[in-house]
Chains A and B, each alone.
Chain A
Amino acid sequence: MLTAYIEGIGLIGPGLDDWATGARVLAGEMEYSPRPTRVPAPAGLPAAERRRTGATVKLALSVAQQAVADSGVDPVGLPAVFSSSGGDGLICHEICETLASSDRQLSPTRFHNSVHNAAAGYWSLAAGATAASTAICAYDGSFVAGLLEALTLVAVDGVPILLSAYETTYPEPLRATRPLPESFAVALVLTPGPTPKARARINATLCSSDAAADRLSDAQLEALRAAVPAARCLPLLRLLARREAGNVTLDYIGRQRLAVEVSACP
């Protein structure tokens, strides 16, 4: 079993501009009214670097900055896990189009932004973060894969960790092969021990089951959870939003699930 305390939360999704809004929606205090995801410009990047970033990096950084601000942890020494199924689909599409054309000259910026760890790289630039960072992918199980990486860092290294899990949409023709309906991102700051800012303690256990992971009762939120890998976190966020103790089961890979026991901190 892996234990950590949740000290900061960030959320950006369709109709979910931040965790404050998302928490009200998930707690049932506000009706969910989806509209296209609004991605704010992240803070901290020099102007030249900011101009070079695409929607995916902006999303991953903005949600991470929400969680870090919420936690009050200094990001400079904070190791970070970035998890995404697809990385930047638009850049990938543009590179493939160029390479299929008669002039294969690629934009150097586009090329170095195409790496799966682009968000981790820009995060370290924006935050001046020199601690370790990683970039994980496990297709539809990418949220839990990122969470497991973060939880083992907390457990083994005994330090606070930032997790940013994010997904942006593909343009056609890739979209037809990977139909992600909307951009969505979640970020958590996890700590090894309780602090005054801790919202909840989580105990996570890997398990194997044919039973489906937990779902959401709201049809639109459930559609989002089922369609976007990063949104597989929503059953966990619902418990956090309601400040309730309880258990949730999240999708991982194949028959594997992550069972998470949440206890609210006073």
Chain B
Amino acid sequence: MTPLSLTHFTATSCIGCGLQATLASLQEQRSGLAPCAFETVTLQTYIGEVPGVESVRLPVALKRFECRNNRLALLGIGQDGFLEAVAACVGRWGRRRVGLFLGTSTSGMLDTEVAYRRRDPKTGALPAGFDYAGTHNSYSLAAFVQELLGLEGPSAVVSSACSSSAKVFASARRMIAAGLIDAAVVGGVDSLCLTTLYGFHSLQLVSPNPCKPFDVGRDGISIGEAAAFVLIERPPESLDADAILLLGVGESSDAYHMSSPHPEGRGARTAMLEALACADLSPEDVDYLNLHGTGTLNNDSAEGLAVAAVFGERRPVVAASSTKGATGHTLGAAGALEAVICGLSLEHGLLPGSAHTRNVDPSLGFEYLLANRRQPLVRALSNSFGFGGTNCSLVLGRAQ
């Protein structure tokens, strides 16, 4: 594919609001996971909660979008001069030539859950003021951000569980290649809700401890929340050496099971190989691999086998880590959050070590980073996989 510029990006998660705080946490290998005291949840688990989301208020004109997910979106998109960068981009291309593709798995679900506790005892009706389109519908996130940014290009929400906000890069890339747009705001926002906390618990996939991806004693995920946004554009004729680029995207389906990955990571392997082929790169061109690495027994095993199959011929094998021990699994926001983390890695020459992981699973056929490593790097690969056997890998790189 023709590389695209990541002109601007930002991320907000439990390890920090904005890039500076996020980078500082990564540099210090600080995890944002804490014992769950969220809402009325009584599960014994750790979560990655973003502080202060409740106190965010949407602009009066956009009140109908008021819910936790859109509050988190507003908190996140206000960081790092992202709004100004989008305004400048609109100035370059025009508001109809800037697309908007965002990922979320649960949108404003928390507010619907709370509304169900407040139903009219006689009629069963939801409380007056419940706004389906503005909060509950998956598209409410993009509708809100589109109005906030004043964009008039094509827009959609991708909701493919935990690959959602990786796949938005693929959608935007195709829209740009097809000539419909010149730039796009992509990203993901997913916020804590009872459906995912109790849902993953019902599948016995939630750890009672902070998650420890690829540890021999790993015992499940820690759920987090995040908002991450990336502005991608057709690149200018001459690029700065430190510009960050989207080089490749790969997508596949497992066709194996709704909630378990293919045991040998068949779809994961295809997604990584397709992303590399799309970027016209070989496995040895990858300096850092940000793993999906959720911390469940089966997910990490399957991904480990897939990584070994793709990179196994290489000596030394690729350096890899999951950053979910720091951020938690931010579900529909994970793809965009981890793309931004790869962007920071490329900019600052930082390969993040895995928070909470102590004893790396000895069966892994590649180098799993426990400690941070400082090293100039040129290309990074990021994996995002989800329920339904959906897989997406992204290749990012420095223009150099």
Contacts and interface: CB of A to CB of B under 8 A. Distances in A.
A2 to B, nearest CB: 6
Given A111-B199, A115-B387, A134-B160, A125 B116 contact: no
A233 B258 CA distance: 30
A118 to B, nearest CB: 6
B360 interface: no
A115 B113 contact: no
B171 A116 contact: no
In terms of DSSP, what is the predominant structure of the interface of chain B? Answer: mixed
Interface of B: 96, 105, 112-113, 116-117, 119, 123-126, 130-133, 136-140, 142-143, 146, 152, 154-161, 167, 170-171, 173-175, 177-178, 180, 194-195, 198-203, 251-259, 266-267, 270, 386-390
Q: Top 9 closest A-B pairs, CB basis?
A: A121-B388, A116-B159, A132-B251, A111-B199, A177-B132, A152-B174, A137-B138, A100-B116, A124-B253
B270 A130 contact: yes
Given A117-B161, A156-B173, 5 more contacts: A99-B194, A116-B161, A124-B389, A157-B174, A177-B131
Contacts of A112: 199, 203, 258-259, 387
Nearest to B271: A132
Interface stretch (A23-31, A102-110, A183-191, A215-223): A102-110
Interface of A: 2, 49, 52, 79, 85-87, 92, 95-97, 99-100, 104-108, 111-118, 120-122, 124-125, 127-139, 142, 145, 148-149, 151-153, 155-157, 172-174, 176-178, 206, 208, 252-256
Contacts of B96: 208
Contact of A99 (B137, B198, B252, B389): B198
Given A96-B113, A120-B390, A156-B177, A130 B126 contact: no
A130 B252 contact: yes
A151 B156 CA distance: 14
A81 B361 CA distance: 37
A256 to B, nearest CB: 7
A115 B161 contact: yes
Nearest to A53: B258
Contacts of B113: 96, 99-100
B253 A130 contact: yes
Given A104-B194, A116-B138, A136 B132 contact: no
